[in-house]
Amino acid sequence: MAKTKILFITHEMAPFLELSKISEITRQLPQAMQEKGFEIRILMPRFGTINERRNRLHEVIRLSGMNIVVDNNDNPLIIKVASIPAARMQVYFLDNDEYFHRKQVFRDKSNKFFADNDERAIFFCKGALETVKKLGWAPDVVHCHGWMSALIPAYLKTSYKDDPTYKDSKVIYSLYNDHFPESLGEDFGKKALISSMKEEHITPYGKGDHLDLYQGAISYSDAVVIAEDNVSEDLLKFVKKADIPLTNAENDEDFENYCNLYEQFASEELETA
């Protein structure tokens, strides 16, 4: 039987970028799943704080060269890759001079939230999905980590729902405490629309603050994971109201709860095949 394919999309991962609990889980979880026999791919942004020489990043020419449109502007997408030898894993990095070549991640040196964080998130989500298409690799499960990946579930359930790469993909969204007090701006929803999407498709994302982004992602997900302690009670109430399967993985050191969730999705696909 073919291996179940899991795509991990995250804005941080150890050892490349460590901002929160997300980096720890996205480093350990893919390796654990690979060791259990799953086939995995990992995508993240190539922020300017990630040292290319130290981490031995190099460009993947066959994947680079696409342009990603954000707010009617073409933005070149460069794909780079690095290996984690101890885990026999590769990580694909999405790069763009305009959005990622900075010495800070989400805030400037004065701690001010970057005004274009909305466009950076849109670029990353659109670029990630297009990169996987170019890889020619159809994931059974797409597992999103962090607010920057929040648009992925909406894109998969609307514009990409009939795409051969994703038409059978299940979407999981993990809940963390990667909170930020700002919003992505009043134009976020309009900028986020792609191809066949309509305004009502982006409505669940509200004004683009942390809670809105998570609620939007949850609205389009097939399952939700509590990945760490003290997740917002409002989010948990929203999940319950939406009647979406919820997996608690707060203390899942062996990642068995994740494994069971992935296998459940694989079984569903076999039953409906």
pLDDT digits (tens, 9 = 90+) for 174-217: 999 888 999 999 899 999 999 889 999 999 999 899 999 999 99
pLDDT of residue 254: 83
Handedness of CA 45, 50, 51, 56 (dihedral sign): negative
Domain ranges of the chain: 5-272
pTM of the predicted protein model:
0.95
How many Cβ atoms sit within 10 Å of the Cβ of residue 49? 13
Q: Where are the beta strands (DSSP E) in 138-235?
A: 141-145, 170-175, 223-226
pLDDT of residue 252: 81
pLDDT of residue 265: 78
**Helix/strand/coil (H/E/C) assignment for every residue in 75-94:** EEEEEEEEEEHHHCEEEEEE
pLDDT of residue 270: 41
pLDDT of residue 268: 62
What is 5-272's CATH superfamily?
A: Glycogen Phosphorylase B; (3.40.50.2000)
* DSSP run (H or E) holding 160: none
Helical residues (DSSP H) of the chain, grouped into ranges: 21-35, 52-55, 97-100, 117-135, 152-157, 188-192, 199-202, 210-219, 233-242, 256-272
DSSP string, 33-55: HHHTT-EEEEEEE--TTS-HHHH
pLDDT of residue 55: 92
pLDDT of residue 271: 45
How many Cβ atoms sit within 10 Å of the Cβ of residue 84? 18
Extract the residue ranges of the chain whose pLDDT is less than 70: 1, 267-273
Q: How far apart are CA 61 and CA 59, in angstroms?
A: 6
Q: How far apart are CA 220 and CA 192, in angstroms?
A: 15
Give bridge partners of residue 107 from the DSSP assignment.
113
